[in-house]
Amino acid sequence: MAGKETKILIAGFGGQGIILAGNVLAYACIDAGKNVCAMASYGAEVRGGTAKAIISISDEQIDSPIIETVNLAMIMNAPSFVRYSSSIEKDSPVIVNSSMIDQGQTERSDLDILGVDATNLAIKIGNIKVANIIMLGVMIKKTGILDPDSITGGLKRAFSGSKKGLYYINESAFRSGYDLY
Amino acid sequence: MATENKKVLMKGNEAVGEAAIRAGCQCYFAYPITPQTETPEYLSRRMEEENLVFLQAESEVAAINMVFGAAAAGVRVMTSSSSPGMSLKQEGISYIACAEMPCVIINVVRGGPGLGNIEASQADYFQSTRGGGHGDYRCIVLAPNSVQESYDMTVQAFDLADYYRMPVFIQSDGIIGQLVEPFVMGPYTPMFDELPPKEWALTGCAGREPNVIRTLFLNPPDGLEKQNVRLYEKYDRIEAEQQWYEDYNCDGAEVVIIAYGCASRIARSAIKTHNGNGSKVGMFRPKTLWPWPKKRLIEIAENNPKVKFLVIEMSMGQMIEDVYISLMDIVPKSRIAFYGIGGGWHPTPDSVYEKIQEVLAE
Amino acid sequence: MKVLKTQPKSITTEGTKYCPGCGHGIVLRLIGEIVDELGLREKMILTAPVGCAVVLYDYITCDVIECPHGRAPAIGTALKRVHPDKFILIYQGDGDLAAIGAAEIIHAANRGENMSVLFVNNAIYGMTGGQMAPTTLIGQKTTTSPTGRCVKGMGKPIRVCELLSSLEETKYLERTSVHSARNINKTKAAIRKAFVNQINGIGFSLVEILSMCPVGWRLSPRDSQSFIEEQMTDYFPLGVYKDTD
C-alpha cells in the first residue's frame, strides 16, 4: 500500500513482554524520526493468554491502522506461531523463539524463518523476562529496519521512572541478540 | 510526564485522559467497559497524583449523574464509556443538555446493537448526533481519527462545553481508542479569548440569590417551549460557528469519499493506492459530526458538478443521511454511493479500493 | 408582644402546593427551622427529587439542583466531592430512593458519603396519583394494586433503614414519623442529628420519615395519622437502627 511500510507482528503469551517489545519499537521510531502506529489485541482475546501487537513503521504518514497481513514477525510461543503464521506475507523474515517453538509446526515453507534460543539465553543473562528484547536484537540486526542506537533510546524511554533499574539488563539483552548473528 | 511539545507514546484512550487533566478537568466518573477501560485505569492513577476527583461509579447511570452534579457545582468534569454504557447514560445526558451544564463525554464506540461485540464500530452515529436521550436537544460531537486528535479534541471539548454550556462528545472507536501512536502533548491553549463566568454554579448562596438548576418547566405552560427555543437558537449559532472538517484532494476529483474517524484512515490508504494509478479521488472528512460540516461539502459539490460521492462507514448507513440532507438540493441520490460494514467489522483499504473502481465504472 | 414561633427565614412565604394533611409540609418546616438554627442556608446545596417534593426550590431559599428520578445520591456525591465544605442535603421519596434509585442510595451509603439524606416514606406514589410503591404495605390498595398488595408477585415492602444498616460505612440511620406532635419533635431531633453529623464529618446519615398521604391513601387527614400509628409503624418500627458517632 502507501509507501514502504514495515508491518511487524509480535506475538506470544501474556507475560513474555509482547506489548513492551512493541512499545520499545515505537519509542525507537520517535527517536529515529519515523512514523509509527501500534495496535495490541484487547478484551476477551487477551484473557485467553495470548498477546499480540502489530506495529507499522513508515517514513510516510501511516493511514489505515487496519493491518491484515504483515511483512515481518517475531513470535515467542508455539500457539501464536500456529495461529498467526497464515497472516505473514510470503518471503517475510520471521524470528521465532526456538526455546518454545518447533519450526516444523508451520506448513509455510515460503517464510524466512530464523530460530533464536531466546528463553534459554535470557535465563543465562539472568532474567527470563528479557527473551523478548534478545529477539528484538536479532530482528533489528537481520532486517536493519531501525538503527540499533534508536532501539537503545527506545529502551531508555520504556524503562524510565520506577522501571529504570531494569534498563541495563535489557540493554545487554538487546546487545547479545544483536551480536548473535 | 514528558516535557511539553516532545512526542510521547500513548494509547488513544490514555491520551484523552491526559488531555482532560491538561484541560483542567477536576472530576472524572465512569464505569469500566471494553474497549475504553484504559481511560479509567489511566485516570485512577493520574487524578490521584494530581489530587483530583476520580470515582468508579456503580453504573453508567450513576456516573453520568455524578457528572451532572460536578458540572452543576461549577467544575470541569468528564466521563467515558463505550456503546452499551452510552445507552445507559442517555437519561442523564438529556437532563444535562436541558440544564445546559458543560461536560465532556467520551464514547469509544463498539459493535451493536445489544451487547454487540468489543470491536471498533461507528454505529452510535445516530445516538450521538440526534440527541440520544429524550427531548429536543443536540450535543457537539467531535470525531478524532488519530491519537493526536484524540488528545487535541478532548482539550478543545472542555472549552466548547464551557463556552456553549452543553455536553460535548468525543466519538472515538475501538481502534482509535486502542491505537498507540506518538503525539505532541501540547500545552493547554484556550480556544476562546474568554469563557462565560459560571455564575449559575451551585456553591451555596452566600451573598447572592439562590441558584437553582432545573429541568422541569411546568409553570407557566410555555416555559419549556421557551427553553427549547433558547436551546435551538444556541444550536443555530453553533452550526454557524463550529463546522470542522478536513478535505483532501477534492478539487477536480471524480469521486469524493466521505468518511470520518477510523474509516477515514482506511479510505485514505485506498485513495493513495488509487491515485497512484491514474484518475482522481478525494476525501471529505467531517471532524464535527454535529454540527455536520455541510457548508464545505456543498461547496465541493457546487465546484465540481459531476463529482460522485462515496460514503464509507463502519455502520450500516447512518452518516449518509446527513450527506443526503446536505446535498438534497444539488446532488441526486444516484450520485451518492454507500459502502458500510456493521457489526464491529470494518472496510479494508483493499475493499474500499474495489468500491472506488465500481463507483468510477458506473 | 412576645413572639413564640415564626416562619423559618429559609422557607419562602408563598406556601406550598402540598395537599391538605400531607407530611411533606411538616418535614419542610422542620428542615427550615434546623437550617436557620444551624445557620446553614448560605452554605447548603439541596437536591430536589422527582415526586411531590420536586419543586422544593420554590419553598426553600438555597442553592438547589433538581435531579433525575432516583439519582440524587449520585449527584450529591459529586457535589460533596467538589465542595467538601458545603452542606449537602438529599431529599428523596420512596419511589425515588427505594425503587428507581435503589442502586444509587446503596452505593452512596456504602461509600460512606458524608451527606444527610431525608427519606420521606409515605408508602405510595403521590405525584403520579397513588400507585404502588416499594414501601406499600401488604394488602394496601393502590391504583396499580387495586385488590391490595400481595406478597406473591409483588414482594414485601422494603425496609430501608434495616437494609442500609448492614453497610458498615453508614453512620446514622433512624426511622421516625410525623403523624403526631410527639413524633414530629423526635423527627426534628433526628434530622438535626443527621445535619450535625455531616457538619462534624461523621459520614453518611439517613432519616427515614413515615409520612401521611391522605389523597393517595384515600383517607382523611386524621385517618391517615391513624394509619401510620396503627399499621405503618407495625411493619416499619420507629427507632435508631445505627448510631456510630
CB-based contacts of C228: which residues, under 8 Å, 6+ apart?
C177, C179, C210, C211, C212
Place of cell 448492614: C166
Q: CB-based contacts of C26: which residues, under 8 Å, 6+ apart?
A: C178, C184, C187, C211
How, if at all, do strands B140-142 and B288-290 pair?
A: antiparallel
CB contact under 8 A, A1 and B273: yes
- Tell me, yes or no, whether B72 and B176 share the same domain: yes
**Residue A105 to chain B, least CA–CA distance (Å):** 30
Buried b (16+ CB within 10 A) or exposed e, A16-51: bbbbbbbbbbbbbbbbbebbbbbbbbbeeeeeeebb
List pLDDT tens digits, range C172-196.
Answer: 999 999 999 999 999 999 999 999 9
Q: What is the DSSP letter of A162?
A: G
- CB contact B220 to C (< 8 Å): no
Interface of A with B in 89-148 (CB under 8 A): none
For residue C69, the 8-state DSSP code is T
**For residue C66, which residues of chain B lie inside 8 Å, CB to CB?**
212-216
CB-based burial label for B191 (10 Å; 0-12, 13-18, 19+): middle
Cross-chain residue pair B349–A66, CB shorter than 8 Å: yes
Across the strands, what pairs with C173?
C206, C242
Distance in angstroms (rounded) separating the CA atoms of residues B218 and B223: 7
Burial letters B16-46, b for 16+ CB under 10 A, else e: bbbbbbbbebbbbbbbebbbbbbbbebbeeb
Cβ neighbour number for residue B194 with a 10 Å cutoff: 7
| Residue B82 shares a structural domain with residue B137 | yes
Q: What is the predicted pLDDT for the residue at A15? A: 86
In a shared domain, residues B328 and B237: no
Q: Is residue B51 part of a domain?
A: yes
Contact (CB<8Å) C63/B206: no
Would an 8 Å CB–CB cutoff place A181 in contact with chain B?
Answer: no
Mark yes or no for CB contact C64/B29 under 8 Å: no
**What pLDDT shows up at residue B4?**
44
Q: What share of chain C is helix, strand, coil (3-state, %, to 5)?
A: 40, 20, 40
Instruction: Identify which of B48, B74, B196 has the alpha carbon closest to the alpha carbon of residue C83.
Output: B74
Does residue B131 register a pLDDT over 90?
no
Q: Are residues B181 and B259 in the same domain?
A: no
Q: Which of B177, B211, B241 is the last residue of a domain?
A: B241
Question: Do B73 and C77 contact (CB within 8 A), yes or no?
Answer: no
Cβ contact C83–B203 (<8 Å): yes
Q: Is it the case that chain C and chain B have 3 or more CB pairs lying under 8 Å apart?
A: yes
Identify from A64, A68, A160 which residue to disrupt to test chain B contact, counting B C-beta atoms within 10 A and taking the largest count: A64
Mean per-residue pLDDT for B254-264? Answer: 97
Q: How many CB atoms lie within 10 A of CB C229?
A: 15
Shared domain check, B282 and B189: no
Residues B14 and B120 in one domain: yes
Is B169 a member of any domain? yes
Residue B320: CATH number of its domain: 3.40.50.920
The pLDDT value recorded for residue B191 is: 97
Same domain, B189 and B293: no
Q: Which residues lie closer than 8 Å to A122 by C-beta, 6 or more apart?
A: A128, A129, A130, A131, A134, A173
Residues of chain C positioned with their CB less than 8 A from the CB of B210: 57, 61-64
pLDDT of residue C1: 82
Chains touching A (at least 3 CB pairs under 8 A) are B
Domain identity same for B45 and B119: yes
SS3 B4: coil
pLDDT digits (tens, 9 = 90+) for B188-213: 999 999 999 999 999 999 999 999 99
Are A146 and A34 spatial neighbours (Cβ–Cβ below 8 Å)? yes
C140: left (phi over 0), alpha (psi -120 to 50) or beta: beta
**Residue-range definition of the domain harbouring residue B318:** 246-361
Residue where one domain finishes, among candidates B241, B267, B293: B241
CA nearest C193: which of C119, C116, C83? C116
Please state whether beta strands B27-30 and B53-56 pair in parallel, antiparallel, or not at all (unpaired): parallel
SS3 at position C242: strand
The count of other CB atoms within 10 Å of the CB of residue A54 is: 23
Among B228, B271, B224, B230, which residue's Cα sits nearest to residue B247? Answer: B271
DSSP B248: E
Nearest Cβ partner of B213 from C54, C66, C74?
C66
Instruction: Of C32, C34, C89, C94, give the one whose Cα is nearest residue C64.
Output: C89
Residue of C nearest to B206 (CA): C42
CA distance A146 to chain B (A): 16
What number is the average pLDDT over the span B291-320? 97
Element (H, E) at B39: helix B38-49
Q: Fill in the amino acid letter for A8.
A: I
Beta-bridge partners for B288 = B142
Q: What pLDDT score does A122 carry?
A: 97
Helix axes A167-178, A148-158, angle to 10 degrees: 160
- pLDDT averaged over every residue in chain B: 95
Return the pLDDT at A50.
81
Instruction: Please count the structural domains in chain B.
Output: 2
Residue C139 CA to residue C133 CA, distance in Å, equals: 13
Q: Is B67 on the interface with C (CB under 8 A)?
A: yes
Are residues B175 and A26, on separate chains, in Cβ contact within 8 Å? no
Task: Say if B143 falls within a structural domain.
Answer: yes
Asked, for residue B342, whether it belongs to a domain, the answer is: yes
**Is B207 among the domain residues?**
no
> Which three-class secondary structure string do you get for B314-356?
CCCCCHHHHHHHHHCCCCCHHHEEEEECCCCCCCCHHHHHHHH
pLDDT digits (tens, 9 = 90+) for A96-124: 999 999 988 888 899 999 999 999 999 99
Q: Which domain holds residue A129?
A: 5-178
What interhelical angle do B223-241 and B147-164 show, nearest 10? 140
Residue B57 has pLDDT above 90, yes or no: yes
**Minimal CA separation from B222 to chain C, in Å:** 17
Ordered by where they begin, the domains of chain C are 24-132+158-243 (3.40.50.970)
Cα separation of A96 and B257, whole Å? 41
Q: Average pLDDT for residues B42-55, to the nearest whole number? A: 98
Q: Tell me, what's the pLDDT at A181?
A: 86
Residue B214 lies in a domain: no
In sequence order, what DSSP letters do the residues of C88-114 get, joined into one string?
Answer: EEEEEEHIIIIIITHHHHHHHHHHT-S
The mean per-residue pLDDT over the stretch B54-73 comes to 98
The CATH number linked to B184 is 3.40.50.970
- Is pTM beyond 0.90? Reply is yes
Q: Is residue B219 part of a domain?
A: no
Where a domain ends, among B241, B266, B294? B241
Q: Given the DSSP bridges, would you call strands C63-66 and B212-213 parallel, antiparallel or unpaired? A: parallel
- What is the CB neighbour count within 10 angstroms for residue A84? 20
In a domain, B58, yes or no: yes
Has residue B3 got a pLDDT over 60?
Answer: no
- Complex ipTM, two decimals? 0.96
Within B57-118, strands assigned E span 77-81, 103-109
Q: Is a pLDDT exceeding 80 seen at residue A46?
A: no
CA distances to A51, A131, A137 from A180, rounded to whole Å, are: 26, 13, 8
Cα B153 to Cα B260: distance, rounded to the nearest angstrom:
14
Residue B61: closest CA among chain C residues belongs to which residue? C71
Average pLDDT taken over every residue of chain C? 97
| Interchain contact, B9 vs A26, CB within 8 Å | yes
DSSP letter string, B161-178:
HHHHTSEEEEEEEHHHHH
Specify which residues A110 forms β-bridges with. none
Grid cell at residue C242: 445505627
Q: How many CA atoms lie within 13 A of B176 on its CB side?
A: 31
CATH number at residue A144: 3.40.920.10
Statement: residue A179 has pLDDT above 60: yes
Cβ–Cβ contact A69 with B under 8 A: no
CA proximity to C91, closest of C52, C129, C58 = C52
pLDDT digits (tens, 9 = 90+) for C11-56: 998 889 999 999 999 999 999 999 999 999 999 999 999 999 999 9
Q: How many domains does chain A have?
A: 1
pLDDT at position B91 is: 97
- Contact yes or no for A23 and B266 at CB 8 A: no
